[in-house]
A and B are shown apart, each in its own frame.
Chain A
């Protein structure tokens, strides 16, 4: 059995509007293993983004335990979590979310050096190499606003990969893309998930994504209602 890169045990999340406390993510158990592309789907408000942000260590759960590469990180401080995100995680955001003040190359580098210090020559080389692999080398000095949505998203993927992450979390990466760009991005993510050290989790509304997924998880009302892994194992 593969060692999971991420494991959630009884993770739940409550939100309060000051008067009423609402459980938006009910107790969830989940193991994300490397070498897989997992699609997390469900209607709006089903809790998939909450689950993604908890998996991404940017939102603390109200209950439960999070383990990353075998280490319990539930009680880590904010700075330690930030460093863990930088070292082990890659994020691909909706509409790429590149920093418009920085060039494509700088957007990639910023993910490696945001905690200060000089950018090392090998990091720069690695960033250029990533852009090259994603067909974006010639746009290295372009600003995000000079790039198409698909090109921005490829820069976003390069940014997510700069730290050689074990877990790539993608938040609706194809939502603002045309069909051709979507397939290009999904092909790339699929290829990346083939790395035996890396897992890719992708939140989506987009049914075009499902054929690319090795595993499909569906959520409703803060609960996982369907998981192909469980189904293939003979569960629900």
Chain B
């Protein structure tokens, strides 16, 4: 009966109930949308590392993320080749450059040079062409989402990067990064474009044999290359995300907007539920006089808060799904990891309960004797 009474009260106060549900929808959608975009950006930040196929990234000493410059002697690759646990180790070039646009202005690009013929660390999804275009002397790929920024070069067009000719030979599909557009080419062309000496590389990608211990391999690499920095792909990915979060202000920006979403929702829930209790003080007093204990009133308010949370969650998730579906395949990165919806639902229920705290406090203070006044 308590549950039934709680729901009937919600249905009776349609406008305030709708207001509270709106508050929950605001939390679910605004926070969910902000987090989806943030996680989408995380994916972009670490995309080159996450999709490299490597277990370990080796960089010059003290380099902790992909945004840091530095180079390594390419002879390190030969030293690594002697390690039994390593399946392959390849050098890559990773450096910034300027692409000249048809109107004469420049667009910064991130050049990624991969080693022929295996092309490990290369693009991972294509819209036109394939990995083989990077085998060509001056072949390069750009992403279809970056075409407009790069002056819309069609396949076969020669573009100028750092005053060197390079040919757009393929389009990738969502092979993007957080910063400047990625331009994949072979390591030889990348060195020519970026001016990196032939005996040096930016990183060495290492893939371990199946079953090999990453910890042991890291220790072996540290002993073998004491002047280099070795990080697992997971570490580098995490470091790169953290670096971008803290250095670009993106973390505080998204954090603030997420917080605003939460605050707006909680304020709406709090005000509407509090108003609801204020309007129904006599009802609660009468129920108390009839025999309701404080815990019964507590149950009714909490049940109402959770019901509002559940309905708001359904509507909010529906809108969020619409948003994610709408931006799928667009430039706007959005990604909701599997653990996010349950975590978001839990947060929403906690916020609903938090939002109802004031109403609960008021309702529990109502004395049964007030039913007689």
**B-binding residues in A (CB < 8 A):** 49, 52-53, 56, 58-59, 78-79, 82-83, 85-87, 89, 91, 93-94, 97, 99-102, 106, 109-119, 159, 171
User: Can you give 30 contacting A-B residue pairs, CB < 8 Å?
Assistant: A49-B373, A58-B289, A59-B367, A78-B293, A79-B295, A82-B288, A82-B293, A83-B291, A85-B368, A86-B290, A91-B286, A91-B290, A93-B372, A99-B9, A99-B287, A100-B12, A101-B9, A102-B5, A109-B1, A110-B5, A110-B287, A111-B291, A113-B1, A114-B1, A114-B5, A114-B296, A115-B292, A116-B296, A117-B1, A118-B1
Cα–Cα, bound, A113→B9 (Å): 16
Cα–Cα, bound, A187→B1 (Å): 31
Any chain A CB within 8 A of the CB of B116?
no
Asked if A99 and B286 sit within 8 Å, CB to CB, the answer is yes
Cα–Cα, bound, A35→B185 (Å): 101
Q: List chain B residues, Cβ under 8 A from A110.
A: 1, 5, 287, 290
Asked if A53 and B369 sit within 8 Å, CB to CB, the answer is yes
Q: Is the interface of B mostly helix, strand, loop or mixed?
A: helix
Cα–Cα, bound, A52→B369 (Å): 10
A114 interface neighbour in B9, B12, B282, B292, Cβ under 8 Å:
B292
Number of interface residues of B (CB under 8 A): 29
Shortest distance from the beta carbon of A104 to any chain B beta carbon, whole Å: 13
Asked if A101 and B287 sit within 8 Å, CB to CB, the answer is no
A116 interface neighbour in B1, B9, B290, B368, Cβ under 8 Å:
B1
Q: List chain B residues, Cβ under 8 A from A101.
A: 5, 8-9, 11-13, 283
Q: List chain B residues, Cβ under 8 A from A87.
A: 291
Identify 10 new A-B residue pairs, CB closer than 8 A, beyond the known A53-B372, A93-B289, A97-B282: A58-B288, A58-B372, A79-B295, A87-B291, A97-B371, A100-B12, A101-B13, A106-B4, A110-B5, A114-B296
Q: List chain B residues, Cβ under 8 A from A49.
A: 372-373
Q: Which residue of B lies closest to A91 (CB)?
A: B289
